Amino acid sequence: MTDFEKLLAILRFEEGLSLTAYPDPEGQTGTWACASGHQLTDKVICAALGAGGTLTCDKALAEAMLREDAHRSMVFARNLFSFYSVREEGARLVAAALAIYQIGSKFCQWHDMRVALSCSDWPAVAAAMRASEWHDKQTPARAERVCKMIATGEWPKGKRNEPN
């Protein structure tokens, strides 16, 4: 299994699948998502959904959106690691992509995390991530799984999100 395939497997576990659009629980008021957390960005569509409209997609489209969003997250993570001259693949790279998939560019706003990343100090990177609202309030259990991957470089263990 490639790192990208492992990323997809973990995202399927973490995000689930909804073929009907839903209010994005982590987004701002009026933001919507569908499939596996794919953010809907068209303001007209979001306004229509907010007014009681519905939007559905089929499994093929949901899979295409997941793959595209996961690819963007993986590219962002690779570029971030490259910027800090970090040569890391595997669980740590996928963990960064998982965080980016969920919170986007906010991942780069943590100063202590960036400093630790520039030194490849993985326990400090994880500690900085744990000091965030994302870890404390948004999705603590999910964020902790990502932090453990960053700190240890090991894949998660468990029945449903074991990527190996």
Q: Is 72 exposed, middle or buried (0-12, 13-18, 19+ CB in 10 A)?
A: middle
Is there a domain that residue 24 lies in? yes
Round the average pLDDT of the chain to a whole number and report it: 90
Find how far residue 31's CA is from the centre of its chain.
17
Number of structural domains, the chain?
1
CATH code at 90? 1.10.530.40
Q: What is the pLDDT of residue 13?
A: 94
Would you say residue 163 lies in a domain?
Answer: no
- Main-chain dihedrals φ then ψ at residue 21, nearest 5 degrees: -60, 145
Assess if residue 157 is contained within a domain: no
Is residue 98 domain-resident?
Answer: yes
Read off the pLDDT band of 30 (50, 70, 90): confident
Task: Check residue 33 and give its pLDDT.
Answer: 92
Residues above pLDDT 70, as percent of the chain: 93
| Contacts of 69 by beta carbon, 8 Å cutoff, 6+ apart | 36, 37, 38, 101
**Residue 143: per-residue pLDDT:** 96
Is the Cβ–Cβ distance between 74 and 53 less than 8 Å? no
pLDDT band at 6 (very low <50, low <70, confident <90, very high): very high
The answer to the question of residue 142 being in a domain is: yes
Name the DSSP class of 162. -
- Domain boundaries, position 90: 3-152
pLDDT tens digits along 104-154: 888 888 899 999 999 999 999 999 999 998 999 888 999 999 999 999 999
pLDDT at residue 67 tops 60: yes
Distance CA(4)–CA(72), nearest Å, equals: 11
